[in-house]
Structures are given as structure tokens and as C-alpha cells.
Amino acid sequence: IFSKLPDTQASIFSIMSECAAKENAINLSQGFPDFDCDPKLISFVNQYMTAGNNQYAPMAGLLSLRETIAEKVNFLYQKPINPDLEITITAGGTQAIFTTIAAVIQTGDEVIIFEPAYDSYRPTIELFGGKVVAVKLKSPEFKIDWEEVKSLFSERTKLMIINNPNNPSGKCLTKEDVLKLEDLVEQSNCLILSDEVYEHLVFDGRKHLSLLSSTRLAHRTFVIASFGKLIHATGWKIGYVIAPTELMIEFRKVHQFLVFSVNTPIQYAINDYLKDRNVYLQLNDFFQKKRDFLLEGLSGSRLKAIVPEGTYFLLADYSDLSEEKELTFAKRITSEYKVATIPVSAFYKDSLDQQVVRLCFAKKQETLEKAIENLIRIK
């Protein structure tokens, strides 16, 4: 018996969602909406299935969908993309991340990540013999110390993973951060994986700073995007990656043997649906209302909320309430107060315990109301 990933356990998202189901609790743990996607989208899928679009899509995805994405990217980030050579449709953001790492990382390569980090990064890097170099960001500021990053950066650094807006902290990169990053990698061969799956969820009038708009970085960057977050259908497992041609050639070599191609009728449907720009232009407002409602509700509780700049997650500090470790607290709150959350320690390798849990607010108004009612009662 052997294990390529001896330190890896079931993902915290599965653990807490199962815990929520078992305890019959409101599930604010795993990040997914509890409301359905637009019926129009479902009727598009039906239409394309009925019309017989049920065989393999081209390996890189439907060209029409890639053209629509290129238009969206040019409109939002003023970056012309070649839809044929520089975009590939993937089975969700996580597959795009996996494929990028698989295409790039060899034994001994170092990868700089920032913790708290999405849970797939580390095991995927390790699976391909890479060495994770983690820069730890601490609650509540989660500020990047670029001097520290510089001290860890070397010719062994093959890849750097940026997650903007960040899951779970809700922080967005500043212009200053992007500038520091540009200066740091300028003279190197380091590649960048920019996980921007929450690009359409940024609040308080912010503009998402995609690395696609950095002329100094775009030539070395894979940008990862997710339709699940955009159309409220995480179960459809569809997203895409944008990268310059030479990088995309390597990406596709792996992609073709991992999934070959992605669900055909759904690609047609999303393409039609995205013709209406309001689909993505209205998302910030839609989710900001939910964020503000939860923030307002929590202000009546003893949890201290950290205001997220983006994503559909909000962190809450419970140190006034309990000295328990995050996982213990999260499980107890699920069982006693019927609200499931995610311990933020799960996003750090050494389980740094800061007494902070993550709540997902991609939920119906009534779900948030009930959750607030319960959270206010915590003593």
C-alpha cells in the first residue's frame, strides 16, 4: 500500500457539507448558491440537447463560446485575446488549476502560494513533485509582505499562484500589489497562475484587477475563470483558462488526455446566455446586497465580521465567544445552532488557528435570515 498524498484528507468542503446535512443545519459552508440558475439557461440547454448537440465538443471548447469569452475579456479588461489559440473551456476552475499545474510543474520545481490558500493547490503541486513555498497572510488584514515574497523567490520558483479575489479572505489585490508582482518576476522565467474565479464578485464600486490587463504579466500568466460562479450553477462544472499561445499549447497537451473536452449542450447554452452583458454586469450588486444583509445581521451577534472586498464569502472572528479550535467550533455551531461554516485553518498547511470561520452568503434571503437568527443566539 502506498499513497502519493499521505497528508491529504477529504476536503473540508465535503466534511462540512456532510456535517450540515447530518445535523439538518443551514449550510453556509461549501461555496454554492441555494437558489437555482435562470430558467432561461435551462431552456437553452434543453433546446440544444433536443436539437441533437450531444456529441463531443472540439477539444478546446466550442469556438463560438470562446469568441464570446474573448469579447467579454476585451470589453472588461481591454485585452484582445485570440479565441482559437488562447482560450480553452474546462470542466470547472479546479480542473483548469490541476491541468495548469500538471503541464508546468516537474520534480523539484518550487511554487509560491499565499495562505490562506484554496485547498486544491498544495496537493496538486505535490502530486507532480513540486515543492510548495507558502507565504502566510494573517487575519484580519491578509496583507502581502512583498519583502517576504522576494526573500523566498529564486530561480527555482517555476510558478506563483495568485487568487484574486481571494477565497476565503475576500481580499482583492491592489494596484500596488500588482506593481510589486510585476517588478518581482520581471527578470525571471517564473509563470503565474491567476485564479480569478470570483472576478465578477467585487464590492463597493471596486474594479476587478485582472492580470490580463497587466501588459507586463499577461505573457507569463494562466488566468482561470469559472462559469459556476457566474451563472449560479456550480454543479455544471464548467470554466475556462486563458493563456498565451505557447503556454496554451502545453496546457492542451494535458487537457486532451484528462477530459478531452467538456459538456457540449451546456457550452452552447452558456454562449447564448452571455450575449446579454447584464448577466455579469449585475452580479456585483446582486451579491453585495447579500453581503450587506449578512454583515448587518451579524452586527447584532458576538461574531466580529471582516468585511469582504470580493467573493461570496465572509469571515467571522469568534474569539469573543470561545477559545475552541476552529474545526471544533464549526462542528459545535453546526450541531447546536444549526449553521455550518468552514474553519479557516483548513486553508493553511499547519492549521494556523485564528478563531475565524468562513460563511458563504450566496444564499436566498430567507436562508440568510434564518442563519442570522441562529447566529445571534450563540453565547
Q: Is 137 left (phi over 0), alpha (psi -120 to 50) or beta?
A: beta
Q: What does the alpha-carbon distance between residue 212 and residue 203 come to, in Å, rounded to a whole number?
A: 20
- Smallest gap from residue 91 Cβ to ligand GLN (A): 12
- Smallest gap from residue 217 Cβ to ligand GLN (A): 24
- Smallest gap from residue 364 Cβ to ligand GLN (A): 17
3-state secondary structure of 88: strand
Interface mask (CB under 6 A) for ligand GLN, residues 77-96, using x and -?
-----------------x--
- 125 membership: H or E segment, kind and range: helix 121-127
Q: Per DSSP, what are the bridge partners of residue 87?
A: 242
Q: Classify residue 107 as exposed, middle or buried by CB count within 10 Å of its CB (0-12, 13-18, 19+).
A: exposed
Q: Per DSSP, what are the bridge partners of residue 163?
A: 195
Q: What does the alpha-carbon distance between residue 366 and residue 307 come to, in Å, rounded to a whole number?
A: 21
- Smallest gap from residue 320 Cβ to ligand GLN (A): 25
Binding residue count for ligand GLN, defined by CB under 6 A: 6
Residues 193-232 within binding reach of ligand GLN (CB under 6 A): none
Nearer to ligand GLN, 13 or 280 (CB): 13
- Smallest gap from residue 169 Cβ to ligand GLN (A): 12
Residue nearest to ligand GLN (CB): 31
Nearer to ligand GLN, 167 or 263 (CB): 167
Does residue 239 touch ligand GLN according to CB under 6 A? no
Nearer to ligand GLN, 217 or 316 (CB): 316
Which of 224, 340, 359, 346 lies closest to 291, judged by CA? 359
Nearer to ligand GLN, 92 or 265 (CB): 92
Which of 87, 36, 81 lies closest to 60, judged by CA? 87
Which of 170, 181, 34 lies closest to 112, judged by CA? 181
- Smallest gap from residue 26 Cβ to ligand GLN (A): 15
- Smallest gap from residue 167 Cβ to ligand GLN (A): 5
- Smallest gap from residue 94 Cβ to ligand GLN (A): 6
- Smallest gap from residue 306 Cβ to ligand GLN (A): 16
Nearer to ligand GLN, 11 or 322 (CB): 11
Interface mask (CB under 6 A) for ligand GLN, residues 113-152, using x and -?
----------------------------------------
| Rounded-to-10 torsion of CA 291, 296, 301, 307 | 50
Angle at 211 between CA 206 and CA 212, to 5 degrees: 105
- Smallest gap from residue 13 Cβ to ligand GLN (A): 3
Nearer to ligand GLN, 197 or 248 (CB): 197
Residues 12-71 within binding reach of ligand GLN (CB under 6 A): 13, 30-31
Nearer to ligand GLN, 93 or 297 (CB): 93
Q: Cβ(115)–Cβ(348) under 8 Å?
A: yes
Nearer to ligand GLN, 94 or 367 (CB): 94
Name 326's Cβ contacts closer than 8 Å, sequence gap at least 6: 343, 344, 345, 346, 353, 354, 355, 356, 357
The residue within the footprint of ligand GLN, chosen from 68, 166, 167, 221 (CB under 6 A), is 167
Distances (CA, A) of 210 to 75, 89, 218: 12, 18, 10
3-state secondary structure of 174: coil
HEC letters along 184-211: HHCCCCCEEEEECCCCCCECCCCCCCCH
Nearer to ligand GLN, 13 or 146 (CB): 13
Nearer to ligand GLN, 83 or 170 (CB): 170
Angle at 301 between CA 296 and CA 306, to 5 degrees: 60
Can you give the binding site for ligand GLN, defined by CB under 6 A?
11, 13, 30-31, 94, 167
